[in-house]
Chain A
């Protein structure tokens, strides 16, 4: 097996995540799909690190995880705040700024 297969898997997972963001309406599921995309890029970073034989890719993946954790915390509290005021978690119903 060629190690580049990890890159193909990463691209596939990223694509599935992106399609999920476009397809789903539940804000939490959309968020989970974003997490899936982040994980896919992390896999690509780790594979690149192995490819180049140094640890820089792993460090970047590590920072990605930190940023993802912060993002999840803020994003989920935004979802809760929206749910509290509108009683829904659907992204279609948050349309106050729609022109």
Chain B
């Protein structure tokens, strides 16, 4: 019943027979075990897969600290680097590829499957824990002097025993891997290569049709007579040039073609058609009111309209006038110039 020197710093229990750990390790165990179990429950019960991944990472870090506390320093580091660092990040990558929003369907395809699963889990857990409680675990040997059990075949190898006795975790593991478990270690390399190749084969997508060249694309456009000219550019009247603002057609409606299809699919297109149309309408109204006050300009405008069809063609409103007309009116006063100025200041 000697005390152990547990905890993170040393991690190696220097006692031949351990049935109780140090208080530090006990505190650490109860705190981190709570976090680990909560993380595991979160992995199972949280709705979003990303949250599940994060809670699982927390559980894995807790387990890594447990490994270190039990003398497996190397495994603890590998757990953090490989599991939390590599595997969980791979999970997150795949989650992003597949789509974060792919939530679980709550539809039960098998009747009563959930209840049966919960019952099975409970029964299995009770059986497992009761089995461990009933097993004659004996005393914990721990690592350290005299702690090497007679079952280990390393005793024949004096060096391994010496290393283990010194509490050299990494050296002891390296010795075992490269002597007794060398064959398994070599097989591991074959497994890893096969897994990498398999992943490449599975994730590879064969291109079934050759990629179309630019020439073929343009010939196709001409043949189909669709979008012969370049697509309209986004932006409105040089007021906006952002890609998410659609161009306005002459009638004030927006041009769907001017915005990227991806933005349209995401619903990130800003609708600005109403704003400028309203502004133009306001401008027309205010200009007409102003011209009625002046009294002389509407007559000039009527003359302009009668003079030629191009005055109608401008179509922008009272403030947008023909150059000739503007020249004629400039003699009267600065009325139209003021109107144009107000339009610019508004826009």
State the A residues within 8 Å of B (CB).
1-9, 11-20, 22-26, 28-29, 31-33, 35-36, 39, 42-43, 46-47, 49-56, 58-59, 61-63, 65-74, 76-81, 83-84, 88-90, 92
Cross-chain contact B87 with A89 (CB below 8 angstroms)? no
**Chain B interface category by residue count:** 35 or more
User: In whole angstroms, how far apart are the Cα atoms of A77 and B199 in the complex?
Assistant: 6
User: In whole angstroms, how far apart are the Cα atoms of A83 and B151 in the complex?
Assistant: 49
Query: Contacts A65-B78, A69-B86, A89-B98 given: A36-B67 contact, CB under 8 Å?
Result: no
Q: Which residues of B contact A2 (CB under 8 A)?
A: 19-21
Cross-chain contact B192 with A66 (CB below 8 angstroms)? yes
Nearest chain A CB to B184 CB, angstrom units: 6
Nearest chain A CB to B118 CB, angstrom units: 7
Stretch of B51-59, B212-220, B312-320, B333-341 with 4 or more beta carbons under 8 angstroms from chain A:
B51-59
Query: Contacts A52-B141, A55-B173 given: A13-B40 contact, CB under 8 Å?
Result: yes
User: In whole angstroms, how far apart are the Cα atoms of A53 and B138 in the complex?
Assistant: 13
Closest B residue to A78 by CB, please name it.
B202
Q: Which residues of B contact A4 (CB under 8 A)?
A: 132, 137, 140
Query: Contacts A22-B121, A47-B70 given: A1-B104 contact, CB under 8 Å?
Result: no
Interface residues of B in 110-127 (CB under 8 A from A): 113-114, 117-118, 120-122, 124-125
A76 partner, pick from B20, B90, B140, beta carbons under 8 A: B90
Say yes or no for B18: interface residue by CB 8 A criterion. Answer: yes
Closest A residue to B129 by CB, please name it.
A11
User: In whole angstroms, how far apart are the Cα atoms of A24 and B177 in the complex?
Assistant: 38
Cross-chain contact A8 with B70 (CB below 8 angstroms)? no
Cross-chain contact A83 with B98 (CB below 8 angstroms)? yes
Cross-chain contact B151 with A59 (CB below 8 angstroms)? no
Nearest chain A CB to B100 CB, angstrom units: 11
Cross-chain contact A8 with B132 (CB below 8 angstroms)? yes
Q: Which residues of A contact B202 (CB under 8 A)?
A: 74, 77-78, 80-81
Cross-chain contact B141 with A51 (CB below 8 angstroms)? yes
Cross-chain contact B124 with A58 (CB below 8 angstroms)? no
Contact with A along B95-109 (1 / 0, CB 8 A): 101110011110101
Closest A residue to B23 by CB, please name it.
A1
User: In whole angstroms, how far apart are the Cα atoms of A39 and B56 in the complex?
Assistant: 10
Cross-chain contact B78 with A16 (CB below 8 angstroms)? no
Q: Which residues of A contact B200 (CB under 8 A)?
A: 77
